[in-house]
Structure 1
Amino acid sequence: MNGSKIFVLAIVALMALPFVLAVEESEKATVIDGYVFSGSSFSTPPVAGQQVDVTCEEETDGVTTDSNGYFKAVFGIGDCSLGQNVTACAGENCQTVSLIASNARINILEFKLFNVPEFGTIAASLAVAGAGAGYLALRRRK
C-alpha cells in the first residue's frame, strides 16, 4: 500500500510541475531592444550614440545606441506586465508595441539626424531680401 501512495504522489507532483515552471517563467525581467535607423528601411545606415527612452507602464529607461544603432533596456521583475504597451522614442520619433512575452524588439525607422528648415522660412527670407534690394535700387534711382 505504501508503494501505491508514493506512486500517486509522484504522478501528482509531475502533473503540478508545468504550473510551477509557468510561474517562474512569468517572473523574469523584461528586455526591450532594437535598432535606430536613419531611413525608412532596415538597409539605411544605423544611428550611433542616439539617446532612446523606453517606457513600459510607469517605468522609463534611457539608453544610448551603440555603433551599430542597437539599444537594450532591461526592466526589473514586475515593472512590465504582459499585454501592456511599450514605447521607444528616439528624439521625436516613437514606436509602440504590445508586450506579449518577456522580451520585445522595437526598430525605430526614419530617425532624422538633423532638422531641415521649412521651405516657408527660406521663401520668406528670399522675399525680404528681394524687397530690400528693390527698395535700395529704387532709392538710388531718384
Structure 2
Amino acid sequence: MTVHFYKPSGWGAPNIYYYDDSVTLLREGSAWPGVAMQDEGNGCYVYRAPDWTQAKVIFNSSGNQIPGSQMPGYAVSGERWIKEGRITHKIPMGQNRRLRSINRKEHSKGIVRRSRSIDIDVDSGTYRLNGGLLLQTTN
C-alpha cells in the first residue's frame, strides 16, 4: 500500500497513522501518532507500507488531524493520493505526472523477504530507488 498526502498549508511534516479494523483484533501499522511521511515535494508526502494492501489512514501534525478527532480514517487500498479530503487512484490534476514503473516483491515461503521499487518523475527527470534519496537523471 502506498499513500500520497497533500498537506494543508500551515502544517509541518505530517505523520500517518494506519490501521485495519476489519479484523477481530485491531491491527496497527504503529502506535499513535504514527510514522513520519517522506517529502515528495510540492506539499506532497508519501508513505509506503509494503506488507499492507488496505488500511484506514489518519494524518496528523503539531496538533492538527485529518480526518478530525474521533472520526474514522480514510479507507485506502493499493496506491492512493489524498488531497483536500478527496481520495484518487491517480495523481490529482495540476500536479507533476509520475510514472511508477517498478514495484517488485520477492517472496520466500509466503513471506515478503525484499521489496524493491523505482519512482520516476518524468517532468523533473528525477528518480528514487526503494524510497531513498531523490536522484537526478543524466544524459
Larger RCO: Structure 1 or Structure 2 (Cα < 8 Å, ≥ 6 residues apart)? 1
Between structures 1 and 2, the one with greater strand share: 2
Compare CA radii of gyration and give the structure with the larger one: 1
TM-score w.r.t. length of structure 2 = 0.39
Relative to total residues, which structure has the larger helix share, 1 or 2? 1
